[in-house]
A and B are shown apart, each in its own frame.
Chain A
Amino acid sequence: MTRALTRLADGDREAFDPVYRAAWPAVHGLASRMLAGDPEAEDIAQQALLAVFDRASEYDPAIGPALPWILGIAGWTVRSHRKRCARRRETDVPTGLVHPDDLEEAAIRRDLEAAVRAVLGDLSDLDRATLHAAVTDRPSGAAFRKRLQRALERLRTTFRRRHGAL
């Protein structure tokens, strides 16, 4: 392999076939392992092979054997693809949910809403109507304020009973 790549680097086109036959399985294997499960693995393996041949004339046996040199170029191509994919995923996510902290916050909010719905389900119809009116209609008057205070007290008690103190 090293001898064939040295000849190819020197311009001997007859060395192309032996280098191709030795390089392709190695590059394909490396890309398959590094991109396991990636539907683009085959394309990237081919890109990596083309990158190897694009730079084949730069090979100098003094820098070491051919296989590590080939796998170094192929590995760099595969890593570049992975970085591109990671950047693409980041830009594809809607604004506000990009950062992992934001994703965690959204999950917490969902859990909290589910907990509140469950607690509201334990309240009476009158308490639920009072709380709903306080949010939507905002009625005034002493009678409504007293009814609202009692509804909120029962809401807190039920929440503590189900989930403990906040």
Chain B
Amino acid sequence: MERSDLERRALRAYERGRLRRALPWGLWAVGFTVAAAAVGAPFALPLGTLLAAWLVGFQWRGGELARGVVPGLAAGSIAFLAPVAWACQSGACTSACTTTCTAMAVASGGVGGLLLWNRVGSTSAVSALLVAATAGAMGCLALGTSGLVGVAAVVVAGAPAVLRRPAVA
């Protein structure tokens, strides 16, 4: 059915309003980027931009995708903060990552993945995994490229949630 001019303008106003409400979520990405850059993680800016795009995009789109953002951020925060905190405390913020580094990244990624598995339904899990994996990657990369194993752990541990029926109304 052909929309009237007023109807088209109303739809644009609706989309604009949604985008305005979604934009502040990008501040989370700014926080992650600043923290990652502070500990010398590589690719902090491109990954931060990608994270901002996920957050704003999912919140703008709404529905199940938006519902995955908060659990994704929670899981991603664990995967991000644990390696960064450990690296800074031990002074091992170098690319010469040890077995302990990798174990830490895998463990924090696993905890994040379990959080997703318990909290979200299938569609939400897609957005949650993308957010968590990107945020986690920013922290894990501070421990070297092998820290990305932690990101893989987020995805693997969270994957069962994608296969489940939506659990969140």
Q: Which residues of A contact B (CB under 8 A)?
A: 8, 10-12, 16, 20, 24, 46, 49-51, 53-58
Stretch at the interface among B11-19, B74-82, B95-103, B141-149: B11-19
Residues of chain A within 8 A (CB-CB) of B17 are: 53-58
Determine whether B137 belongs to the interface, using a CB cutoff of 8 Å to chain A: no
Cross-chain pairs A/B with CB under 8 angstroms, 18 sampled: A8-B14, A10-B63, A10-B66, A11-B66, A12-B63, A20-B7, A49-B6, A49-B10, A50-B9, A50-B10, A53-B10, A53-B11, A53-B17, A54-B17, A56-B14, A57-B17, A57-B62, A58-B17
Residues of chain A within 8 A (CB-CB) of B66 are: 10-11
B6 A46 Cβ-Cβ under 8 A: yes
Q: Chain B's nearest CB lies how many Å from the CB of A72?
A: 16
Residues of chain A within 8 A (CB-CB) of B164 are: none
Q: Chain A's nearest CB lies how many Å from the CB of B109?
A: 29
- What mask results when residues 35 to 72 of chain B are scored 1 for a CB within 8 Å of chain A, else 0? 00000000000000000000000000111011000000
Specify the main secondary structure of chain B where it touches its partner: helix
A58 B21 Cβ-Cβ under 8 A: yes
Residues of chain B within 8 A (CB-CB) of A8 are: 14
Apart from A11-B62, A54-B16, A55-B17, 10 more pairs, CB < 8 Å: A10-B63, A11-B61, A16-B10, A24-B6, A46-B9, A50-B13, A53-B10, A53-B17, A57-B14, A57-B17
Closest A residue to B14 using CB positions: A53
Residues of chain A within 8 A (CB-CB) of B6 are: 24, 46, 49
Residues of chain B within 8 A (CB-CB) of A57 are: 14, 17-18, 21, 62
Residues of chain B within 8 A (CB-CB) of A16 are: 10-11, 14
**Docked CA distance A46–B10 (Å):** 9
Closest A residue to B21 using CB positions: A57
Leading 6 A-B pairs by shortest Cβ distance: A11-B62, A54-B17, A53-B14, A11-B63, A53-B13, A50-B13
Q: Chain A's nearest CB lies how many Å from the CB of B2?
A: 12
**Docked CA distance A55–B18 (Å):** 8
**Docked CA distance A10–B65 (Å):** 10
A54 B14 Cβ-Cβ under 8 A: yes
**Docked CA distance A83–B16 (Å):** 26
**Docked CA distance A145–B16 (Å):** 83
Closest B residue to A56 using CB positions: B14
Q: Chain A's nearest CB lies how many Å from the CB of B107?
A: 35
Residues of chain A within 8 A (CB-CB) of B16 are: 54
Residues of chain B within 8 A (CB-CB) of A58 are: 17, 21
**Docked CA distance A20–B6 (Å):** 10
Given contacts A46-B6, A49-B6, A50-B9, contact A11 B14 (CB under 8 A): no
**Docked CA distance A55–B19 (Å):** 11
Closest A residue to B9 using CB positions: A50
Interface centre among B11, B62, B63 (most CB of A within 10 A): B62
Residues of chain B within 8 A (CB-CB) of A55 are: 17
